[in-house]
Structure 1
Amino acid sequence: MSTINRFHALSQTLGDKVDGLNSRFDDMECRLGSMEHRMDSMKHTMDNLSRGTEGLETKFKTVNEYLLEVIRQERLVMKEFGDLTSQYQDREV
């Protein structure tokens, strides 16, 4: 085999390997782009969850305040009921 033929075969082999590497790099670039898209989607989802959590926290605080007011009102009613009961018992005696 002549030197030129060997050089041509070596050049062809190297060219094929470079093409293979380029193909792999293109594939990796495509996969990285896909991963980046998924990460952006996950970030968007996390942002939505965070906003939803903040909204729920506000609602829980509102409900909590309402329940505390109901308990306070119930205590006042029970105290008033106790006072009326005492007055009624005092009248009977």
Structure 2
Amino acid sequence: MGLVVIFCLGVLNFAAHKAVLESGHSLLGQVPWLIQPLGGRLSLVVEFAMLLGAMVMVAAGSTGWAWLYALYSIVNGIAAWLIFSGRA
């Protein structure tokens, strides 16, 4: 069950991340070292590595990693909401 939840959170994280990348928000210019390599997709590679790591750890029986990834997803969602609402 934990893997399914982590996977669903990962899909939401990727959707929010890609939407923020495509928004062209001015905050993206402050982290060019993460955005410019691979045509702006290096940050998506990092996102995938985090998802994969969380899924491996949860599959190994560590529920703490599931909670950490859930917390990360909440923070990620709030950040995306702030960017799209014009508050950031």
TM above 0.5, yes or no, is: no
Name whichever structure is richer in helix by fraction. Answer: 1
TM-score by length of 2: 0.29
Higher relative contact order (CA 8 A, sep 6+): 2
TM-score (norm 1): 0.28
